[in-house]
Amino acid sequence: MPNITFSSPLHKDKTVYAVAGSHRKTVLEIAKENHIPIDFSCGDGECGTCLVRVHSIDKNQLKRMGHPLTEREVKVLKDLGKITQAQIDQMAIDDLMPSEWRLACQMVVRDEDIVVHYPSR
């Protein structure tokens, strides 16, 4: 089970241990359960309010950073200029995250230790 460190210039860093079953939970759900104040609005991958920057601190799983981008995540990140079509195409080939930018309401954690930076705009 992974450790997730939530880091923000506005709040004290907090590391939470994602318990069994959390592999189906989004970063936003885990943040809410642990009283981490990540901004959000729609909660459904459409508005981009929950934009976060994520990096892996697990040396064996560099650049995985959660399950692949959802279709909604791809659209919003592209609209926000955080990801290019070339990066999207490459992601389909190698399953590596092309960008550190993610939507907290869409990103489902994997078994890897990550740092989630918020707010990140």
Among 18, 27, 50, 52, the residue binding ligand FES under the rule CB under 6 A is 50
* 119 is an interface residue for ligand FES by CB under 6 A: no
Cβ burial, residue 66 (10 Å; 0-12/13-18/19+): buried
* 58 is an interface residue for ligand FES by CB under 6 A: no
Coil, strand or helix at 45: coil
Interstrand relation of 51-56 and 114-117 (parallel, antiparallel or unpaired): antiparallel
Nearer to ligand FES, 17 or 37 (CB): 37
| Residues 17-46, mask of contacts with ligand FES (x by CB under 6 A) | -----------------------xxxx-xx
The overall longest dimension of the chain from CA atoms, in Å, is 38
Cβ burial, residue 120 (10 Å; 0-12/13-18/19+): buried
- State in angstroms the smallest separation of the CB of 71 from ligand FES: 13
Residues that bind ligand FES in the complex, under the rule CB under 6 A: 40-43, 45-50, 76, 103, 105
